[in-house]
A and B are shown apart, each in its own frame.
Chain A
Amino acid sequence: MNTPVRKVALACMVLFAALLVNANWVQVGQVGRLKAEPTNARQVTDRLERQRGGIIAGETVLATSVPVDDEYKYQRQYPNGPLYANLTGYYTLFTTAGLERSENAFLSGDDDRLLASRVTDLFTGESRRGGTVVTTIDPHVQQVAMDALDGRRGAVVALDPSTGAILAMVTTPSFDPNAMATHDAAAATDAYQQLSTNADQPLLNRAAQQTYPPGSTFKLITAAAALARGTEPDTRVSAPDELTLPQSTTVLPNFGGERCGDGRTDTLTHALTISCNTAFAQLGIDMGDDVLRAQAEAFGFNSTIEDFPLQQARSVFPSDLDGAQTAQSAIGQFDVRVTPLQMAEVVAAIGNGGVRMKPYLVSELRGPDLKRLDHTEPTELNKPISPEVAAKLTTMMESVVTSGSGRNARIDGVDVAGKTGTAEHGDGEPPHTWFVGFAPASAPKVAVAVIVEDGGGEFATGGAVAAPVAKEVMQAALDTQR
């Protein structure tokens, strides 16, 4: 009778084995999936139980967690919230955005790079703490850019052309993430509702997430394509007072009806300096849309930057263009769309001798003990133009600032290279005003892209509205880097 008893014992052990396997499956195999379930409210509150790591820029704290005495243990705080809101994003009871989202694993302490620190905490009895994210932002430049925009809707991106490190990324209007980070669920929901229904879209990061018509700033790309195909800065190109677009009766005038050169031709340098529309439209027609598109894509159009910690919109150079559309696209109109970040990349690549560096926002990751665990090495993306073309373009851009449409960006004692843009975006709407550029022209320390939406009236231009903002930002960057 012992044989069946032994078999029953075996059956019991099979049951227990099944339970053990199942327990491993649930508590190890499925943990990730269960934690990612949207209804798993435990995740949110768990994160609030721990000391989340900070986000800093130099000595400046962008986001931190302070102990509080309520239902949860730590409260997320954003000192000077609106200034950095588009970068830090927010961290609420319900959701996350910005760096809070992309660096969440590290900030909350779940990242594998924090394993050593977790093991130490296990023995010292400390609860799990998050690591600190160090950004590339220069707080002074960021503040100056915010002040210079002065409440107008717009965006500023400043980066170091030689590394791609983003020095400032400002968007206005901004919002206060503290209002959403409150532990009062109703108040947080309320704050989010107000911001998301606001007509000015304060939650939108205009610097990277919004595309605009580039206007005349796109002429840099058209010029780069022309220079690469043998045109010299002093080559005289066709620049009539009015250009009838191919296969149409549409007539393209110059801005304000001005004359470019002698009424028929103009040098490439002068055409860029005064932002001659007909000259660049004709160049575009001559080269064709495929050449323009290839040049634009080399600068990063029609793609996004991989592993960038913030949401990006894709800058677009459209396909299948006819002659008239090509002409308009060559001067940054029609369906060409660009983000301020993309325009900053374009001028940074020109300033950096034709080498496009990968823009980055996170420079270092530090453990709870502030020990450096990881850092970002500058990465070269590609070479959209040759060093010779870059040098010629730089000289032409210097002429824009010294004697052309960008005179308002001049800085005493510093050579500045730049390009203005005034982008039509609908009949009767005031145009968006652009300025892109870098300084010092010979060995740039900063590249900048500025857009002020609806630049303040029908007759506003990039030179009048955006160039002064860019000047201040470049000045600030040069001051702190000196």
Chain B
Amino acid sequence: MTLPPLRRPRSADLTATFAGFPLPSGLELPPYRRRELFLLGYAGVLATGALAALTLAHDGTIGFQVFTYGLGFFSLWALGHLAVRRFAPAADPVLLPVVAALNGIGLVMIYRLDLAKADSARRAGNPIPTGAAQTQLVWTLLAIVVFVLVLAVVRDHRDLSRYAYTLGLAGLVFLVLPIAPGIGATINGARLWLQVGPFSFQPSEVSKIALMIFFAAYLENKRDVLSLASRSFLGMKIPRARDLGPVLVAWLASLGVLVVQKDLGSSLLFFGMFLVILYVATQRASWVAIGMCLFMLGAVVAHSLFGHVQVRVDGWLHAFDGNNPSNTSYQLVQGLYGFAAGGLTGTGIGQGSPQRVPFANTDFIMASLGEEFGLTGVMAILLLYALVAARGIRAALGAKDPFGKLLATGLSATVALQVFVQVGGVMRLIPLTGLTLPFVSYGGSSIVANAAIIALLLRISDAARRLEEPVPDAPLFDPNAVADSPTQVVKTT
């Protein structure tokens, strides 16, 4: 492979890059791979700058180490970039740098919370706990390995639909795996983890992707039946009961997760992403309406049946009432105090006290970011996520096959929905549910699974932006074409 010539991008390239038009054929390595590298450098500078600001706030000086850490971080994601160059050269150039930027912000914030823990341990004379940041760095490396593997193995996303049922089954198995005695583990009241030695892994993150592929493949096959065979009821087209089967199964499965594992966020996510993909496949809003009704019904039933749902809803509605804060909303209220302390511009990294919020580096990392980066930082981070979703959807729009469209839409919407449920919960827009913030929160399974999602989106985007292989012109007349063919007798009836 030859490197592209060193030159400034021409306006034609820019148009091609930003409008998502197919590339001019014959351009081996598109200029926007260099643009991706440039943006990645920017993400590296962002993370390094945050780290420098942190060390300056904490130690008063900036060491040379900051530079090496920054370079290490950049190199890590540069591996991902090289893989994209090699395996998906036409893919969207923005997704990977945005993800790297989010990951960098997350790593620095996790490290910052480690420092706070270490400081308070030192003051109390206790042994200093091991940092979460190193662990997260290892997970990040693993995530990049998975990212590269997905790009390398899945050379054409359409191949995935062949394994739809296998993946669907695997997804369900993974989902229920934590219930199995011996390997399943209950952490913080939810049975969501697989524990092997000191490592814990949340398999629902993997089943999220596996089930998404299954949904997309299943609906690609059944979409005609689902969209056409329906009766009218109250002006809405209601699908036949037997075609309704899958949505019911998905709904029951998601509520099953809720019941057994006490995981509100994941069940909401599973249900939401299935609804989205069903709607795109059938183009029927009635599915969404039905799904919403079922969800409402399920939510009401869950609220009346399960204590932990009541606790969440109660803590949400009455966060500041009674013995303020009520013991069910302590965490939420502390998080809100963190956001308030940040205000418009934030306290500056290392200068707030985000460690006051329980689970500051996992579920409540947005409150930590909100305190130290302020509203400005929160909005910037939300826009980065919006960018991920928007770029994913653009890949869906460009995809030439229904499966790719469904999968890309589903994956993008999943990211958007997860961020909404997560941040909305922490900011008291909706009841709090336990979900991680993709790429930012501390947690291995989350970042690995989300790296795989980005790899799939890049794969679809690559396929979408490639020019069709030029079909060789067929000769107008091939004298040999009919020369040897047998004479056909036209039959009459």
Give chain A's interface residues, CB within 8 Å of chain B. Answer: 1-9, 11-13, 15-16, 18-20, 22-24, 26-28, 30-31, 34-35, 37-42, 45-46, 71, 127
Contact = CB atoms under 8 A, between A and B. Distances in A.
B397 interface: yes
B346 to A, nearest CB: 9
A10 to B, nearest CB: 10
Given A1-B283, A24-B375, A30 B393 contact: no
A4 B283 contact: yes
A20 B429 CA distance: 11
B370 A27 contact: yes
Interface string B116-133: 000000010000000000
A22 B375 CA distance: 10
A42 B353 contact: yes
Contacts of B340: 26-27, 30-31, 34-35, 40
A434 B189 CA distance: 70
Interface in B314-338: 320, 324-325, 333, 336-338
B59 to A, nearest CB: 15
B396 A5 contact: yes
A6 B370 CA distance: 31
B405 A1 contact: yes
B385 interface: yes
Contacts of B379: 20, 23-24
A463 to B, nearest CB: 56
B20 to A, nearest CB: 12
A42 B405 contact: no
14 contacts: A2-B405, A12-B417, A15-B417, A15-B420, A16-B416, A18-B420, A19-B420, A19-B423, A22-B424, A23-B427, A27-B344, A37-B337, A38-B324, A46-B341
Interface string B426-437: 011100000000
Interface residues of B, number: 49
Contacts of B336: 26, 30, 34
A28 to B, nearest CB: 6
B405 A40 contact: no
B393 A9 contact: yes
Kindly list the 6 A-B residue pairs having the minimum CB-CB distance in the complex, ordered from nearest. Answer: A34-B340, A12-B416, A27-B375, A15-B420, A9-B393, A16-B386
Contacts of A42: 337-338, 341, 353, 356
Contact of B409 (A5, A15, A16, A22): A5
Contacts of A12: 386, 389-390, 393, 412-413, 416-417
A127 B350 CA distance: 13
Contacts of B123: 71
Interface of B: 123, 276, 279-280, 283, 320, 324-325, 333, 336-344, 351, 353, 356, 370, 374-375, 378-379, 382-383, 385-386, 389-390, 393, 396-397, 402, 405, 409, 412-413, 416-417, 419-420, 423-424, 427-429
Contacts of A13: 386, 390
Contacts of A46: 341
Given A15-B420, A34-B337, A2 B397 contact: yes
Nearest to A23: B378
Nearest to A31: B340
Contacts, number: 126
Nearest to A6: B397
A27 B382 contact: no
A39 B386 contact: no
A8 B382 contact: no
A16 B389 contact: yes
B333 A5 contact: no
A4 B406 CA distance: 10
A20 B337 contact: no
Contacts of A30: 336, 340
Nearest to A10: B393
A34 B429 CA distance: 15
A8 B375 contact: no
B409 A8 contact: yes
B137 to A, nearest CB: 28
B342 A27 contact: yes
B280 A27 contact: no
Given A12-B412, A16-B389, A28 B382 contact: no
A405 B353 CA distance: 64
A24 to B, nearest CB: 6
A38 B370 CA distance: 21
B105 to A, nearest CB: 16
Contacts of B397: 2, 5-6
A11 B412 CA distance: 12
A443 B324 CA distance: 58
Given A8-B276, A16-B416, A42-B356, A26 B427 contact: yes
A379 B278 CA distance: 74
Contacts of A11: 276, 413
Given A12-B416, A15-B420, A19-B427, A26 B386 contact: no
A40 B370 CA distance: 16
A27 to B, nearest CB: 4
B428 A45 contact: no
A31 to B, nearest CB: 5
Contacts of A45: 353
A15 to B, nearest CB: 4
A4 B333 contact: no
Contacts of A20: 379, 382
Q: Which of A28, A34, A127 has the most CB of B within 10 A?
A: A34
Contact of B390 (A9, A23, A34, A39): A9
Contacts of B375: 23-24, 27-28
Nearest to B342: A27
A27 B339 contact: yes
B292 to A, nearest CB: 12
A22 to B, nearest CB: 5
Given A1-B280, A27-B374, A37-B320, 13 more contacts: A4-B283, A5-B409, A7-B279, A8-B413, A9-B393, A12-B416, A16-B385, A16-B419, A23-B375, A23-B379, A27-B344, A30-B336, A39-B333
